[in-house]
Chain A
Amino acid sequence: MKSFFYRWTRRFGIFFVVLGPGLITAIADNDAGGIATYTVTASMFGIASQFLVIPTTFVLGFTQEIGARIAVVTRKGLADLIREQYGIRIAAVVFLFYFVVNQGVVLQNISGLKASIRLLNIPWQLPLILTCTVLVTTVVRFSYKSLQRIFLILIFFYLSYVAVAWLTKPDWVSLFQETVVPEKITLGLNFWFSIIAVLGTTITAWGQFFVSSYINDKKLSIEQMKYEKYEIYFGAFLTNVISYLIAVAVTQTLFNNHIVVSNAASAALALKPLAGEGAFILFSAGLFGASLLGLTIIPLATAYVFAELFGFEGSLDTDFRKGRLFYLFFILQIGIALIITLFPQVNLFDITLYVDFLNGAMLPLIFFFLAKFGSDKDLMGKYALSQPMKITLYVVGFLITSVVVLSTFGKIFGIN
């Protein structure tokens, strides 16, 4: 009995040691863009918009786990391997695409931040600039360990969605039934496009790069991989629980009252008369936290990849002098997004559309790299992917890519 207890406390301890990469990457997939998508689709189709929540959890966990495995075994990030195996030309092209895609995602998050500040009914320009300045200074100054703590604290902002969902007093049983077997709505083309959009915002190009770089920065060992795997699936699970709860809250309020919204901020406002001031504040706080986390993690994902591809020192533990170029790219992406956001005439909706498309277009390439490196015996030794895993990865990659591309075309041609 005693040894049983000891064994489990030990396992639990190791789990906390590895805690971070999987959880943070997965949760950051629910960034401002993600929350907007869950909200808008749930206001249109109710909880049925979470139709694919279970397969999405598995796919997210599965792909992230492969990225993590490659990182732990080779001690290199995905971008390191791309440069070393495919040379400078491919590396440069990948980076160009990646930079543009991430710039778009950063833009989504900074406008999410702007929206959450505007909900307070105060002038938003100065607070936005101040928040960005604090964020940049924090990331440059703090070490990996302290930053990870901040990231984990930011995750607590998502708890507000748990509270919002609870405030709307849902009938869980009927909601689950409706999720698995949607009845209340006609399952037209629009519905499928929405489902796909939900999936597409959860599986991202940057997430695949970030998890491997971040694991290397954490310096996990191969013995810890088993626990890291649990952590990744736990992160995927938690992420999808949160997106589900957002959909629950929106379904209980907006959808049931036939209010369709076009973004997360208007959803928050519409919540006020239906679920009360508390729900409004919680929903806004959630959006604020999500935007802030996205605004930190995604530019970091760009900076990691830049440093790996071109061989510069790139770790959250390096000081600014050594990691100049690493931090420069981090600051650059936030700076560009901030300037664009300060000009109110830019149409963010169009930008978001193209970003989603580019993200979808990048995914097959990344899945190809994952499968290629993951099954390379020279790199992975006995940890190489088995044939079924490799095939699963290709199938999953193909499916996700096609649905993301399809949904984007759907949006472009206005089917939605």
Chain B
Amino acid sequence: MLYFSELLNRKVVTEDNVYVGKLVDLIFKLSETAEIAKAVVKTKLDPKTIVDIADVVKINGSITLKKNYHAKELEENELYLSKNLLDSQIIDISGDKMVRVNDVAIQNQPYLYIAGVDIGLIGFLRWFGLEDLANKIFNQYGIKLRSQFLSWGDIQTLELSRGHVKIKTEQLKLQKIRPEDLADYLEQTNMDNIGHVLRTFTLEHAGEVLNNLNLNYQVEFFKRTELKEAARFMSHMEPEEAADILVALPKKKHEEMLELLNEPIRKQIKHLLSISVSPVGDIVSTEFLSVDSNSTAKEVIKLVKDVGSDFGEILYVYFLNTEKQLVGVSSLRSVILQNPESPAYKFMRPQIEVASLSTPVSVVWRKLLKYKYYVLPVVDKNRQMIGLVKLDDVSELINKI
């Protein structure tokens, strides 16, 4: 394990020992793993030369680069370690200030990634080279100074992109949050965390929270959970929700789960499943407006003016990332109300209910009613947008059945 305080201002040389400059920052990927992607070196010519981490041969001792290293640029979803994370305020889930990031711990096996942040006294003293001295002094009195450490898994990566270092809360506090709010909160953390939290709850409580999760998360959760445990959780859910999940699960797991469920709920689910399983694919409309999530409100409005006449109606604008995946949605009203220069990723709603081509019409129908939407986007496996299903089309179909 390395500490950023020990790397900062280290000499950077090439393999043949030519002096390049000093390390001033690192760049990491904004993800669950927080991989270090690039290093920022202050050279004579450029105070912010960005170097690919693949070109860094050695980081212990002096930092050694490959002879012909490449200059890079900061990409989307990347943040500076020193500029964006170090010294930042850490807040807990209720927004109370806790402490600042005193140091950043970096794991170098199997690859470089951020293991966590140091928030303790030791992390503070390290900057002054007083770590060993303090340890010695306190040891004499029989006190062992311990590092206070917040692991990367405890930090909400999503909030980090908005400039907040927000921690995921203690389980005890979570118990008190309403299931609806808790589900929203969990959707912003990761899958492991969802499982971890739900297992600390009673089955009834966990069932309620599961009911409120987005279908994608529900399915993912049940895919990952071992069969018997999954059945126990599902037995405490609403039959409608459970049916939706079962349809989306692989056929084998679907059938096995059904056998393991409690008798009353199994009956209800079977009944629900027997009703329409007609997929939504038949009524998908491809008339939708999508733009890059980096576009500003002004650009979106211009686009609506330019192409709007080709559309029957435009209620929502959908936002895509560089991989053309659906990442957000905004109503036209909301776009118009924004500051013209504001980029879409700032105002769009990132949590979106979606359907896939194989989602049964009944499921879509319930979703539309539950969330009071007029339309639901339809995406493929890669979360690329295919089209829309509209409430009136669905209603018509349901009526026919």
CB distance from A125 to the nearest CB of B (A): 35
Given contacts A89-B127, A322-B96, 15 further A-B contacts (CB under 8 A): A80-B89, A88-B102, A88-B124, A89-B128, A91-B87, A92-B124, A92-B127, A307-B97, A309-B100, A310-B99, A311-B90, A311-B99, A312-B97, A312-B98, A318-B96
Enumerate chain B residues within 8 angstroms of A92, measured Cβ to Cβ: 124, 127-128
Q: Is residue B86 within 8 Å, beta carbon to beta carbon, of the partner chain?
A: yes
Q: Is residue A277 within 8 Å, beta carbon to beta carbon, of the partner chain?
A: no
Q: Is residue B359 within 8 Å, beta carbon to beta carbon, of the partner chain?
A: no
The digit string for A288-318, where 1 denotes a CB below 8 A from any CB of B, is: 0000000000000000000101111110001
Contact in complex: B100, A83 (CB < 8 Å): yes
The digit string for B345-372, where 1 denotes a CB below 8 A from any CB of A, is: 0000000000000000000000000000
Q: Is residue B88 within 8 Å, beta carbon to beta carbon, of the partner chain?
A: yes
State in angstroms the CA–CA spacing of A80 and B96 once bound together: 15
Contact in complex: B86, A87 (CB < 8 Å): yes
Contacts A/B (CB < 8 Å), 27 sampled:
A80-B89, A83-B100, A84-B88, A87-B86, A87-B87, A87-B127, A88-B87, A88-B102, A89-B127, A91-B87, A92-B127, A92-B128, A307-B97, A309-B100, A310-B99, A310-B100, A310-B124, A311-B89, A311-B90, A311-B97, A311-B100, A312-B99, A313-B96, A313-B97, A313-B98, A314-B97, A318-B96
CB distance from A289 to the nearest CB of B (A): 33
Which of A84, A311, A318: most chain B Cβ within 10 A? Answer: A311
Residues of A within 8 A of B (CB): 80, 83-84, 87-89, 91-92, 307, 309-314, 318, 322
Those 5 A-B pairs whose CB atoms lie nearest each other, nearest first: A311-B100, A313-B97, A311-B99, A88-B127, A311-B89
Enumerate chain B residues within 8 angstroms of A84, measured Cβ to Cβ: 87-88
CB distance from A319 to the nearest CB of B (A): 11
Contact in complex: A83, B87 (CB < 8 Å): yes
CB distance from B111 to the nearest CB of A (A): 27
Enumerate chain A residues within 8 angstroms of B86, measured Cβ to Cβ: 87
Enumerate chain B residues within 8 angstroms of A80, measured Cβ to Cβ: 89
CB distance from A74 to the nearest CB of B (A): 12
State in angstroms the CA–CA spacing of A318 and B102 once bound together: 23
CB distance from A181 to the nearest CB of B (A): 52
CB distance from A250 to the nearest CB of B (A): 46
Enumerate chain A residues within 8 angstroms of B99, measured Cβ to Cβ: 310-312
State in angstroms the CA–CA spacing of A311 and B127 once bound together: 17
CB distance from A240 to the nearest CB of B (A): 36
Interface size on B, residues (CB 8 A): 14
State in angstroms the CA–CA spacing of A349 and B96 once bound together: 42
Q: Dominant SS at the A interface?
A: helix
State in angstroms the CA–CA spacing of A322 and B99 once bound together: 12
State in angstroms the CA–CA spacing of A42 and B86 once bound together: 51
State in angstroms the CA–CA spacing of A91 and B86 once bound together: 13
Closest to B100 in A: A311
Closest to B5 in A: A88
Enumerate chain B residues within 8 angstroms of A310, measured Cβ to Cβ: 99-100, 124
Closest to B102 in A: A88
Please provide the chain B residues from 75 to 120 with a CB less than 8 Å away from any CB of chain A in the complex.
86-90, 96-100, 102
Please provide the chain B residues from 10 to 33 with a CB less than 8 Å away from any CB of chain A in the complex.
none
CB distance from A322 to the nearest CB of B (A): 6
CB distance from B269 to the nearest CB of A (A): 47
State in angstroms the CA–CA spacing of A91 and B88 once bound together: 13
CB distance from A252 to the nearest CB of B (A): 51
Please provide the chain B residues from 48 to 94 with a CB less than 8 Å away from any CB of chain A in the complex.
86-90
Closest to A313 in B: B97
CB distance from A386 to the nearest CB of B (A): 22
Closest to A88 in B: B127
Enumerate chain B residues within 8 angstroms of A318, measured Cβ to Cβ: 96
Enumerate chain A residues within 8 angstroms of B89, measured Cβ to Cβ: 80, 311
Closest to B94 in A: A322
Closest to A85 in B: B87
Enumerate chain B residues within 8 angstroms of A322, measured Cβ to Cβ: 96
CB distance from A320 to the nearest CB of B (A): 14
CB distance from A153 to the nearest CB of B (A): 30
Closest to A315 in B: B97
State in angstroms the CA–CA spacing of A87 and B128 once bound together: 12
State in angstroms the CA–CA spacing of A17 and B97 once bound together: 26
Closest to A83 in B: B87
Enumerate chain B residues within 8 angstroms of A87, measured Cβ to Cβ: 86-87, 127
CB distance from A312 to the nearest CB of B (A): 6
CB distance from A347 to the nearest CB of B (A): 33
Which of A309, A312, A314: most chain B Cβ within 10 A? Answer: A312
CB distance from A26 to the nearest CB of B (A): 28
CB distance from A85 to the nearest CB of B (A): 8
Enumerate chain B residues within 8 angstroms of A311, measured Cβ to Cβ: 89-90, 97-100
State in angstroms the CA–CA spacing of A354 and B124 once bound together: 29
CB distance from B84 to the nearest CB of A (A): 10
State in angstroms the CA–CA spacing of A89 and B86 once bound together: 12
Enumerate chain A residues within 8 angstroms of B128, measured Cβ to Cβ: 89, 92
CB distance from B156 to the nearest CB of A (A): 17
CB distance from B312 to the nearest CB of A (A): 41
Enumerate chain A residues within 8 angstroms of B97, measured Cβ to Cβ: 307, 311-314
CB distance from B104 to the nearest CB of A (A): 12
State in angstroms the CA–CA spacing of A322 and B90 once bound together: 14
The digit string for B182-204, where 1 denotes a CB below 8 A from any CB of A, is: 00000000000000000000000
CB distance from B327 to the nearest CB of A (A): 26
CB distance from B215 to the nearest CB of A (A): 38
Enumerate chain B residues within 8 angstroms of A312, measured Cβ to Cβ: 97-99
CB distance from B99 to the nearest CB of A (A): 5
State in angstroms the CA–CA spacing of A311 and B100 once bound together: 5
State in angstroms the CA–CA spacing of A311 and B98 once bound together: 6
Closest to A311 in B: B100
CB distance from A238 to the nearest CB of B (A): 33
Enumerate chain A residues within 8 angstroms of B96, measured Cβ to Cβ: 313, 318, 322
CB distance from A76 to the nearest CB of B (A): 9
CB distance from B119 to the nearest CB of A (A): 8
Closest to A310 in B: B100
State in angstroms the CA–CA spacing of A311 and B123 once bound together: 14
Closest to B123 in A: A88
Closest to B101 in A: A311
State in angstroms the CA–CA spacing of A313 and B100 once bound together: 11
State in angstroms the CA–CA spacing of A64 and B350 once bound together: 41
